[in-house]
Structure 1
Amino acid sequence: MTINRGLMTAVAVPLMLLGACARPGVAGEAGSPGSAAPVTESTTADPAAIALRVEYRGGFVPAETIPSRIPLFSFYADGRAVTEGPVTLIYPGAALPNMQEIKISPAKLTELTDAALAAGVKSGADFGTPGVADIPSTRISVVTAGGEQSVEVMALSEASPDDQSLTAAQQAARKKLTEFLGTLHAQFADAASPPAKPYQAQRLAVLATPYQETGDGMGGAPVKWPAADLPGAFLNEQLRINCLTVEGTEKDEVLALASKANERTPWESAGKKWQIKFRPLLPDEKECADLRRQA
């Protein structure tokens, strides 16, 4: 059985796990409405500039999963788009995420950014705060020639249709936004053209925490870490989350080993065992610090 991890908005976790609560509220940063034309390769020197992104923020999830979380969709100025594809429902899961990439035309990119604006992605839009807790919010941002527009909607797909905390207008706005997300999912469907292919990251972020023995043996034998000593520098000192990046031949060695590992595999480095979450960096991400935006 497979499931798209990008569609999972929340998971039941033990209360002892440290999480971060999603911000209630309605909208993201300030932005001035302008032309719906997306910032494309023809209007910017940076083909890796974001044109449209959908990502989860916050939620009551294990703290170490937040910086490793992959945006649901990232559409770039040059037409590239990246998401996380289906994964097998087993425990422990694969060590590496199944990231997929497609390439769309400038016309399609314009169509999608126009559709985002038409669906209500406008800074300051009111989607209300439903009567649910500990659910991630969905942040959608679109960059146009007139600037960025963004919204952040709590429990977009989890709120009940009869939630008394939401007005009829807010429910209608949520429905419209949900339907828009369906059009983005369709871009990566098996029948889509061109078909998706595995995403090849130039850099790989490695989020390391001290290994916690559970006694279940599910992680298997320890694997010797082939790159620079773990755990790297603190990404979040308070939560004891460390991060380093690997690239080039080091990255290739790590990926070869990780492809045979699972998410509970212990990695040995500098005389210690480490638990690792692998996070391929996206085209607009260059270093570990770029992952802090998801906190």
Structure 2
Amino acid sequence: MTRSGPGRSAVLTALGALGLLVLAGCADRDGGAAGAQSGASATPDREGAAADDRLVFQVALTGGFTTPTELAARLPLVSVYADGRVVAQGPVAASYPGPALPSVQLRDVGPDAVADLVAEAERAGVLDDTDLGSPPVADALTTRFVLVDADGTHVRDAYALSAGWTAGPGLSTEQVAARADLLELLDAARAVASPADQRELRPYPVSALAVVATQHLDVDDGLATPDVAWPGPPLPGTALGGLPSMSCTLATGDQARAVLDAAATATTRTPWVTADGSRWSVTLRPLLPHEDDCTDLTS
């Protein structure tokens, strides 16, 4: 299923002219854009947001050697919507433990830039279904490209692409060429990830949070992690991803505001204590415009 698009140079020229932000800094290898405003918005509302929440294009990282919680709550690198909004990962804090709130950024690039990006994705082979091979590397991340059009949702997975594997043992000439096209698409996204004027980026306004919860386990590593009273919906919620030890619940409205306020000074290691004295580790995952609840994290 191959569709042709405009030449790469023409597309990238259009993207550059319109200043399209497609933040695909690889979370496993690359850092975020320096100097950009980070963190989720402390005001969970959608005032001024456009009504068209249709996802058009997305780049995400899947798999890898990590915990089930991180897999479930991992944010896509970039999500592009029909009205021109681009929601992307922001800079990752170079500290441990990191902040409880992930950095999520928003930019409005307009529908024309979205159309250009779709054409570039088609040209790069996101709609194809040829085998991309499997480079001989263990526990690498898979780069997932998602393109949504009138025919449905198209998913293209490329194992170890974000680590730069386009050629090597076990890959045919055709696979090398196909992987190179997709890597160009990923590199093009990285190239436009940092606009000249970082002030064009703003924090993504959070209207709902998926709260992924597990029982808190104390670790004797010398780090001070004081307990914080949990201000959100009842924990732990509903089992997530078929794992009874990991649950998810949804925080919206006043509860989302309370959680965001409390999490502003918390870290990923903070023990959250509920009214009955139970202690929980929570991972906060802002829902994106096209997502409705916890089930979207594992769908």
**Sequence identity percentage:** 36
Question: How many Å apart are 1:258 and its aligned residue?
Answer: 0.4
Aligned residues: 257
Taking the aligned partners of 1:246 and 1:219, their CA distance within structure 2 comes to: 27
- 1:291 equivalent in alignment to 2:266: no
- 1:83 equivalent in alignment to 2:88: yes
- 1:236 equivalent in alignment to 2:276: no
- Classify 1:6/1:252 alpha carbon distance in 2 versus 1 (closer, same or farther; 3 Å): farther
Counterpart residue identity of residue 7, structure 1: C
Aligned to 1:245: 250
1:279 pairs, out of 285, 293, 296, with 285
1:103 pairs, out of 91, 103, 108, with 108
Q: How does 1:44-83 map to 2 (within 5 A)?
A: 47-83=52-88
Q: Give the structure-1-normalised TM-score.
A: 0.80
**Cα distance per residue 1:7-45 (max 9 Å; x no partner):** 12379xxxxxxxxxxxxxxxxxxxxxxxxxxxxxxxxx9
State whether residues 79 and 86 of structure 2, in contact with CA within 8 Å, keep that contact through their aligned partners in structure 1: yes
1:181 pairs, out of 174, 183, 186, with 186
Aligned to 1:7: 26
**Cα distance per residue 1:161-185 (max 9 Å; x no partner):** 5521112332222222112122223
- 1:120 equivalent in alignment to 2:125: yes
State whether residues 206 and 278 of structure 1, in contact with CA within 8 Å, keep that contact through their aligned partners in structure 2: yes
Runs of 4+ in 1 over 6 A off after TM superposition: none
- Classify 1:219/1:140 alpha carbon distance in 2 versus 1 (closer, same or farther; 3 Å): farther
Structure 1 window deviating more from structure 2 (219-228 vs 178-187): it is: 178-187
Question: How many Å apart are 1:216 and its aligned residue?
Answer: 2.5
Question: Which segments of 5 or more consecutive residues in structure 2 lack a partner in the other structure?
Answer: 1-22, 31-49
- CA RMSD of superposed structures (Å): 2.3
Q: How does 1:125-164 map to 2 (within 5 A)?
A: 125-158=130-163, 160=165, 162-164=167-169
Taking the aligned partners of 1:221 and 1:5, their CA distance within structure 2 comes to: 34
**Cα distance per residue 1:217-265 (max 9 Å; x no partner):** 4252100011222111211353511111111111111101101001001
Corresponding residue SS for 1:249: helix
Taking the aligned partners of 1:227 and 1:160, their CA distance within structure 2 comes to: 43
State whether residues 6 and 70 of structure 1, in contact with CA within 8 Å, keep that contact through their aligned partners in structure 2: no
Q: Which has the higher helix share?
A: 2
- 1:197 equivalent in alignment to 2:202: yes
Taking the aligned partners of 1:194 and 1:172, their CA distance within structure 2 comes to: 37
Question: How many Å apart are 1:194 and its aligned residue?
Answer: 7.6
- Classify 1:219/1:83 alpha carbon distance in 2 versus 1 (closer, same or farther; 3 Å): farther
State whether residues 53 and 141 of structure 1, in contact with CA within 8 Å, keep that contact through their aligned partners in structure 2: yes
Taking the aligned partners of 1:186 and 1:217, their CA distance within structure 2 comes to: 40
Question: How many Å apart are 1:193 and its aligned residue?
Answer: 8.2
- Classify 1:247/1:204 alpha carbon distance in 2 versus 1 (closer, same or farther; 3 Å): same
Taking the aligned partners of 1:60 and 1:201, their CA distance within structure 2 comes to: 29
- 1:221 equivalent in alignment to 2:226: yes
Taking the aligned partners of 1:126 and 1:5, their CA distance within structure 2 comes to: 23
Structure 1 window deviating more from structure 2 (179-188 vs 109-118): it is: 179-188
Aligned to 1:24: none
Taking the aligned partners of 2:182 and 2:199, their CA distance within structure 1 comes to: 25
**Cα distance per residue 1:67-122 (max 9 Å; x no partner):** 10001110011111111111221110111100001111211110000000001111
